[in-house]
Amino acid sequence: MAKRSRVRILRKQTVYRGYFRLDRYTLRHRLYRGGWSASMRREVFERGNTVGILLYDPPRDALVLVEQFRLPAHLAGFPAWQTEIVAGIIENQRESPRAVAVREAREEAGVVLTAPPFLAQKFMTSPGGSTETFHLFCARVDSRGIGGIHGLPHEHEDIKVAVKSFGAVMKAAFAGRIQNGPTLTALYWLAANRARLRRRWPRA
């Protein structure tokens, strides 16, 4: 059965529109035991699609990470300053996810990529409440000389950039000191693919 024929959207309302959007749906869907569910209402947070880019230096086995203030983390009881991979929202649909990743690497970390990044993974960040789709890219970088404070002032960005060894970053992740979901996904992906990347990107 086609996916669309298993879901019936009876009504859609936009209940809030600001920097983000909240839509309310009335719907029914097919049941595993057969037949249709009762009519239900669900709110969906329309945040837009996002990209992240894992900046990896294979010869030095190091990562370029950023640290910046996150109000939701603070409100949820986590550290307000979060350690993350470079990431950003796809605000212009005419700009490809790869182009956004390249631009964010430059704006957030001062990294100018010399080769296009490749798409490592594509996933939903919170499928129970948002349509947000995260495009995770990976790129080889030379981490020497990278660091400092970056970001766009008119977007209120105050971003600290740091280069850390793979071992130190994974130790922090396993100790619970990295709480950002897309960043954890990127790190676990790297742990599974690190040997292959180091063979693909040998020491120059």
Say if residue 60 is exposed, middle or buried (CB neighbours under 10 Å; 0-12, 13-18, 19+): middle
> Using a CB cutoff of 8 Å and minimum separation of 24, what contacts does 147-150 make?
148/110, 150/66, 150/107, 150/108, 150/109, 150/110
pLDDT reported for residue 2:
58
Question: What is the arithmetic mean of pLDDT over 91-112?
Answer: 93
In the prediction, which pLDDT does 203 show?
66
Going by pLDDT thresholds of 50, 70 and 90, the confidence category of residue 80 is very high
- Tell me whether residue 132 is one of the annotated catalytic residues: no
* Domain spanning 50-200, CATH architecture: Alpha-Beta Complex (3.90)
Q: What is the pLDDT of residue 189?
A: 97
Residue 30 has pLDDT above 90, yes or no: yes
Mean pLDDT throughout 18-39? 96
Mean pLDDT on 170-180: 96
Quick one: pLDDT at residue 9? Answer: 97
Spatial CB neighbours of 151, under 8 Å, sequence gap ≥ 6: 68, 107, 108, 157, 158, 159
Backbone angles phi, psi at 9, to 5 degrees: -85, 115
pLDDT value for 133: 96
Q: How far apart are CA 128 and CA 14, in angstroms?
A: 18
**Mean pLDDT of the 94-103 span:** 95
- State the catalytic residue, choosing from 67, 91, 95, 155: 155
Mean of the per-residue pLDDT values of the chain? 94
Domain ranges of the chain: 4-46, 50-200
- Report the share of the chain in percent with pLDDT over 90: 87
50 vs 136: CA distance, rounded Å:
9
